[in-house]
Amino acid sequence: MSESHRNQSPHEGERRNAKGRQRNRGSRSASEHSAAGSRGEQSGRSSRQSGRQFSKNAPSARSRRSDPARLAAFQVLRAVSRDDAYANLVLPAEIRRAKLDKRDAGFATELTYGALRSEGTYDAVLSRCVDRELSKLDPPILDALRLGAHQLLAMRVNTHAAVNETVALVRDQIGAGPSGLVNAVLRRVAEKTRDQWLDVIAENSTGDDALGLRHAHPSWVVRALRQSLKLRGRAEDIEALLESDNAAPEVHLVGLPGLHGDAGPHHLKSAVTAGATPSELVEGAAIFRGGDIGRLEGVREGQLRVQDIGSQWIAQALTEPAVQPAERWLDLCAGPGGKAALLGAIAAEYGVTLTANEPAPHRAELVTKALAAVDPSAWSVRTGDGRTLSSDPEFYTPEQPFDRILIDAPCTGLGALRRRPESRWRRKPSGLAELTVLQEDLLDAAVAVLAPEGLLAYVTCSPHAAETIAQVEDLLRRHSELQLLDAHEPMAAVALPQGQKLLEETRSTTSANSNPVIAKTVQLWPHIHGTDAMFFALLQKKPD
């Protein structure tokens, strides 16, 4: 079998030839890899071909050349491990650098996200195949082993190819010395199926610890998600939620309203013509499964954007109660600018203004770029700590408070584990205390600049109780001038029928809850709504 068939089993090669596919390609189609990865990660491969075939060549006699798709995935894992980078930001650049076609890009994407998503589970497997502590391995070697483990245990990659190509990657990028180690370790990994390994690594674990190993979540995250579901009357959903976190994320689009003769909605319609599916939750959104969004009309001009439908839904809900002339809006934590762009476009339609605040200069630049397509008279960007806004006369005076404030607060990000698979292993429970203090400070700062009868939206991309329900309860105790509104009402007002139905479904499990914060706030879920697990609380300042 030639190297160009590196990811096909013999049966797959025969099937492709039977279909008349004559092109020799190294990687399978993106859809096949996505399906293979999802099946492998959710249930494991139930069987494996007998008589595994490994190369008879010594590692020193094998190829030194890295396969481009695997190399792209390796470079992303190195950036995540070494630089604390975000895979969803690094991977597209690596795919472009390597000039991968659609199929190889799909392979690199599944390999990258799969290895990052299941890092903890694969480390538990690898620890049983290495004769030393994993912490004593050089980080690049460990990243390569994780890539090899994912190919062997969760993708339809021929065992021979998975081992040999990973060894070639190591020789090319790390050196000849470690290649023998990598070869030996991956051969041991290949001795069992994913399900068999899960039985081994979870044999002495129970409860959330075992669930975490099987679904590639740290046990503290499993406990936090279970608690949040329980508070919402959905404790039985825990496995469905964990499985949803491990599914490949969909690409959601938004057409910014009111731009240049309704260009945003026009380009959204063009995207639908190109294969996108209109959202059933809210107007102005679509789901795109067609590959590179850069080829869609309006993306380069900034009139068509990528944005999770949950974020779109909440931003629209904040603007749903009747807007009055000359209102002033504030996005207190605006970076990187997705919600700010949508709010700014809506503000331009109403003839009101938005201030987008972001403390980090490089992120403030991203906010400015995100707003560039919007009428400049409708927005301004402040670079500074949101907690000091009340003492900045350029943007705030007591005579000109803000009428609507969005706080999309820094948080653990446990609601976006599909999109940022590495964050589940990066975050630690010890960091929660610092985040909740920051959230509290930002809320207090927002109340100080909120107009009487003004609206305050508190949003997190996390369902963790400490960052959501507890935070709102504490806010109401500190500020008697605030009242909690029912956030379901504006959410339902901007929703399509299916969105209203799902909103009511999740509301019904909490409507009888005696805790008003639970009953009146909205928690979106990936396994129910198909969005990130966004939390939304809406508060109003009482009249003077």
Known binding-site residue numbers: 333-339, 358, 385, 408
Distant-in-sequence, close-in-space partners of 399: CB < 8 Å, separation ≥ 6: none
Could you list the beta-strand ranges (E) of 83-159.
none
Report the distance separating Cα 330 and Cα 405, nearest Å. 5
Q: Which one-letter DSSP state was computed for residue 99? A: T
Q: Specify the length of the chain in residues.
A: 544
84 φψ region: left (φ > 0), alpha (ψ -120 to 50), beta (else): left
Q: CA-CA distance, 347 to 302, in Å (whole number)?
A: 17
Give the C-alpha separation, 100 to 226, whole Å: 40
Write the DSSP assignment of 145-170 as a string of letters: HHHHHHHHHHS---HHHHHHHHHHHH
Instruction: Show which residues are catalytic.
Output: 461
Binding residues for S-adenosyl-L-methionine: 333-339, 358, 385, 408
Residue 449: closest CA among 394, 391, 364, 390: 390
Residue the block writes with tokens 């500020």 = 479
Cα separation, 472 vs 521, whole angstroms = 9
Residue type, 198: L
- Helix H, strand E, coil C: the string for 302-364 is CCEEECCHHHHHHHHHHCCCCCCCCCEEEECCCCCCHHHHHHHHHHHHHCCEEEEEECCHHHH
The dihedrals phi and psi of 359, each to the nearest 5 degrees, come to: -75, -35
Residue in the structure block whose two tokens are 């293979």: 36
CA triplet 249, 250, 255: central angle to 5 degrees? 135
